[in-house]
Structure 1
Amino acid sequence: MSDLANYQYLLIALIFVWSGFVRSGLGFGGAVLSLPFLLLVLDKPLVFLPIIAVHLLVFSSLTIWMNNRTRSGESPGVSTVDWKYLSRILGIMIVPKLIGVFGLITLPSDVLSAIIFVIVALYSVSYIINRPFRSGSKTVDTIFLMAGGYISGTSLIGAPLIIAVAAQHLPKEKLRDTLFALWFILVLIKMGAFIWAGVDLQLIHHLWLLPCAAVGHVIGLYAHDRILRAETPVFFRVLGTVLLVVSGVGIVSVL
């Protein structure tokens, strides 16, 4: 990423601000809603995925720590993470996750980019028609979790499928932090695979991209309550339309 033009660096910085905003504002989507834009700037997923992974580790752990610190003053000994449910879904997801990680390391960049754009296009259509993925049975739950684990292993964008299951079984006050704990564990596995495979972690670029994501994170925390009170179907339709256009352009550019 050292041979990019100045405007490309600016675009990448702005996209990581957006990524931080989405992650803290919506509780998920820091990867799925930013990776398509990043790939239009530089079509190399393995350049950005380690950076996104580190951001997930930092901000998910920070959010859990801050929320539990606040909660301890109100209800001592009560965690904001449902560890029992977390261990249950991890048992379902772990093998597909590892398979996905292996596919990420061996697939060519253009094939992986095409897969990412197609998946994001499907997500965007569900946002546009206001019909997000929903699970209706234990069998469907298992399928969604396994698919989400595999997609998370390939590209860190399996959140919508996982949330489709978790949102039905977790109390609202524990959903966000339980998901953050899940992202932390899943991303830790991916980072281990990156290191084992000798993938460049882009450590020098964390010096300027982590602060960009931090700015977005702080803005997202302030915007979280307003987003919940706003017309969320309209928000997601607009977001879905933008993502569909971006994904379409990305698919055409890859082909």
Structure 2
Amino acid sequence: MTHLSVNLNKIGLLRNSRGRDYPNMIQMAERTLQLGAFGVTIHPRPDQRHATYQDAHDLKALLKAYPQAELNIEGFPDAQFLNVVLEVEPHQCTLVPDDPNQLTSDHGWNLSRDQDALRPVIAKLKQKGIRVVLFMDPVAENMALAKEVGADRVELYTEAYANAFGTDQAEEVLANYQQAAQAALTAGLEVNAGHDLDLQNVAALCDPGHITEVSIGHALTVEALDLGWDQVIKAYLEKLA
């Protein structure tokens, strides 16, 4: 079974757009966990346009009532982000090579270039008992280096897979992701996946059993406009079981 971590950034975006605490992120997180999701994810960016640093503290407090669930905080490891993560001590921190002005994540780490900067960051997080994940493109040859710099897991950036799904390239692209996942497992890493996954494409990616966890937010929120929040969470859990 692949675990589902629901990214709540779009809930934060809706809330912030009206200057009110509505929808309330903590209430939506609790509803999500009660429905059976394994965890929740936020990706607070420097402008805090959706998830905020305060959300990180509030969600960690909520999860004290859900000892089997996990909080995953994603982001670029600048000083402010790291301070928040080290204070909150989430179960998992996913390091993403985002520019502060980026609309959304669009590439993985270049470890041949970035490893020296990442090593001390990873060490600090692991000293706090935080599982560290590196956001990576699906390049099998790079997985061993992710393990070498200290990561516990990689998160495969799945936009290319989502774009190819349902096309003539789908089989080839899926095979590339499976090879990258297997290389990560061989290196001693666990494998997460995320970006543009939805109810249509998530099962094929996870069926071989290589993926420990998927993080899904944008598509899930859009699908909930049609199906309802509760029904869409249940549908993902059925797909991933």
TM-score (norm 1): 0.27
TM-score (norm 2): 0.29
Q: Give the structure with the larger strand fraction.
A: 2
Considering Cα pairs closer than 8 Å and 6+ residues apart, tell me whether 1 or 2 has the greater RCO: 1
Q: Give the structure with the larger helix fraction.
A: 1
